[in-house]
Chain A
Amino acid sequence: MERLHFHEELEQLKLTVLNMAALTQQAFENAVKAYINRDVDLAQKIIDGDQEVNKIELQVDHQSLRLLALEQPMARDLRMIIGNMKISNELERIADQAVNISERTIFLSQYSPLDEIPAMDSLIEISRQMLKKAVSSLRDMDATTAKEVRNMDDQADESTLQVLKSLIEHMVADASAIDKRRLKTRRSIQTIILSRCLERVGDLSTNIGEHVAFMVEGINIKHQKFKEEDPES
């Protein structure tokens, strides 16, 4: 009673989501690169390319709904479909954050750069690592790696806070030069929004990790502290 045809379709769904993950990760990496290098062309390419990810999300919804309706999946098959649907939603939102970052980059690149923001590098790095780890846990169906993603979230939150503090300091400095200050404020606000996008990528990567853990182990670990849910740790 092997369900070969169904399992082939399920495998296809997984490949579609993995392809979506690769495109999303690439979009985010490029968004960060465009911000760092003040590369307006690259930023525009990311904005233009977002439709592809949106299209795949619709495709995943369609494939998943079809399998749920026609195949009555059970156990890990059911978890795979539910998990992939949720992950595709998170990926689409990450791709949207890449677009948002790119829009900030296009604005910021019109003006001279702000003074150095020390925590920004670590925020970029941590959000990149979180997404990378989430995608690799999805590719390998590895619950241990998946759970590690959310352990990095505090670090991302802390870096975001430090970025915010630095930018507020930027905004209140040079209070005498009104016109200059206005421009600096606008750049600072855009950079704050950008840092918020980076932090959101970390949050959404955490969600992906939680979905992967659910797919592999069947346990819902959302809204739980890491150490509490794992009795062996």
Chain B
Amino acid sequence: MTDSVKFAIKDLNFFYGDYKALADIDLDLEQRQVSALIGPSGCGKSTFLRCLNRMNDLIPGSRVEGRILLDQQDIYAPSVDVVSLRRRVGMVFQKPNPFPKTIFDNVAYGLRVNGLKNRNELRRRVEWSLKQAALWDEIKDRLQQSALGLSGGQQQRLCIARALAVEPEVLLMDEPASALDPIATQKIEDLIHDLKKNFTIIIVTHNMQQAARVSDITAFFYMGSLIESGETETLFTRPKLKQTEDYITGRFG
């Protein structure tokens, strides 16, 4: 394993009760790269994503086997503080979910939870996060207005800003643009390009063209197994396996 590997997944199996949702996954995810997870509905890609910051811990009866190493440390080790893990590995969901608070308070929320009280520092970090999320110029004059008044695309970028505020190392994105119009989608995709300079990004998407556009590495999941992974350009022009080819060319029956 090289130093550039952010997440190393070793022989991962995941169960919802008796149902095995992920089987024998081995995958390295490089830092400061965008990795896309693709596959049909129910293939396990979102389950896999949620394993990476232990969001599945919240599901009763779920169970993980194998190891997931973040910077070579097992995130499922008993000593790991899950809150601290989720600060390092942030998440953005399919549907924008701003809190019913002001724009400023949304972004400052995680910082306050983490004990930051200094107003100047809070202001500085909120501005930095909103700039990172390419939202600052659009909303800088209405920081005290409700976040619920923003458009869908702006709300999603606000959620990205909120995730970035606590300065995570990894950003997990679960279909972040699927509820957005093409212009807002384009903005999110441009944002992903910019963010990968500083963050490791792992994105689940149903839109294969989006995976092709935004990611460096693509992993194809099917029925709980990782079928093929590799450079996005190669996977979308010359996949190694017929199963991958059949999926990306729409020949799946």
CB interface residues, B 127-163, toward A, < 8 Å: none
Q: Which residues of A contact B245 (CB under 8 A)?
A: 75-76
CB interface residues, A 52-98, toward B, < 8 Å: 72-79
Q: Is A2 an interface residue (CB 8 A)?
A: yes
Contact of B237 with A218 in the complex, beta carbons under 8 Å: yes
Q: Closest CB of chain A to B177's CB: distance in Å?
A: 16
- Which chain B residue shows the least CB distance to A71? B250
- Which chain B residue shows the least CB distance to A214? B238
- Which chain A residue shows the least CB distance to B252? A1
A73 to B208, CA, bound (A): 10
A218 to B230, CA, bound (A): 16
Known interface pairs A1-B252, A2-B252; A74-B208 also in contact (CB < 8 Å): yes
Q: Which residues of A contact B209 (CB under 8 A)?
A: 72
Q: Which residues of B contact A76 (CB under 8 A)?
A: 245, 249
Contact of A6 among B208, B239, B250 (CB under 8 A): B250
Size of the chain B interface, CB-CB below 8 angstroms = 15
Size of the chain A interface, CB-CB below 8 angstroms = 16
Contact of B250 with A219 in the complex, beta carbons under 8 Å: no
Known interface pairs A1-B40, A72-B209; A77-B249 also in contact (CB < 8 Å): yes
- Which chain B residue shows the least CB distance to A217? B238
Q: Which residues of B contact A3 (CB under 8 A)?
A: 249-251
Q: When A and B form their complex, what is the total count of cross-chain residue pairs whose Cβ atoms lie within 8 Å?
A: 39
Q: Is A182 an interface residue (CB 8 A)?
A: no
Q: Is A186 an interface residue (CB 8 A)?
A: no
Q: Is B248 an interface residue (CB 8 A)?
A: yes
Q: Is B236 an interface residue (CB 8 A)?
A: yes
Q: Is A165 an interface residue (CB 8 A)?
A: no
Contact of B251 with A218 in the complex, beta carbons under 8 Å: no
Q: Residue-by-residue, is B205-238 near A (CB-CB < 8 Å gives 1, otherwise 0)? A: 0001100100000000000000000000000111
Q: Closest CB of chain A to B214's CB: distance in Å?
A: 14
Q: Is B253 an interface residue (CB 8 A)?
A: yes
Q: Closest CB of chain A to B168's CB: distance in Å?
A: 32
Q: Residue-by-residue, is A211-223 near B (CB-CB < 8 Å gives 1, otherwise 0)? A: 0000001110000
A73 to B245, CA, bound (A): 11
Contact of A75 with B239 in the complex, beta carbons under 8 Å: yes
- Which chain A residue shows the least CB distance to B212? A74
CB interface residues, A 186-233, toward B, < 8 Å: 217-219
A72 to B211, CA, bound (A): 13
Known interface pairs A75-B236, A75-B239; A2-B251 also in contact (CB < 8 Å): yes
Q: Which residues of B contact A79 (CB under 8 A)?
A: 237-238
Q: Which residues of B contact A219 (CB under 8 A)?
A: 238
Contact of A218 with B238 in the complex, beta carbons under 8 Å: yes
- Which chain A residue shows the least CB distance to B253? A2
Query: Interface centre among B212, B237, B249, B253, by most A CB within 10 Å?
Result: B249
Q: Closest CB of chain B to A14's CB: distance in Å?
A: 14
Q: Which residues of B contact A7 (CB under 8 A)?
A: 250-251
- Which chain A residue shows the least CB distance to B250? A3
A218 to B233, CA, bound (A): 12
Known interface pairs A72-B209, A74-B208, A75-B245; A1-B237 also in contact (CB < 8 Å): no
A7-B250, A74-B249 are known contacts; what are 17 more A-B pairs with Cβ within 8 Å? A1-B40, A1-B250, A2-B250, A2-B253, A3-B251, A6-B250, A72-B209, A73-B249, A74-B208, A74-B237, A75-B237, A75-B239, A75-B245, A76-B249, A77-B249, A78-B236, A218-B238
**A–B Cβ pairs within 8 angstroms, 17 of them:** A1-B40, A1-B252, A2-B250, A2-B251, A2-B253, A6-B250, A73-B249, A74-B212, A74-B248, A75-B237, A75-B245, A75-B248, A76-B245, A78-B237, A79-B238, A218-B237, A219-B238
Shortest 6 CB-CB distances between A and B: which pairs? A218-B238, A3-B250, A74-B248, A77-B249, A75-B245, A72-B209
List B residues at the A interface (Cβ < 8 Å): 40, 208-209, 212, 236-239, 245, 248-253
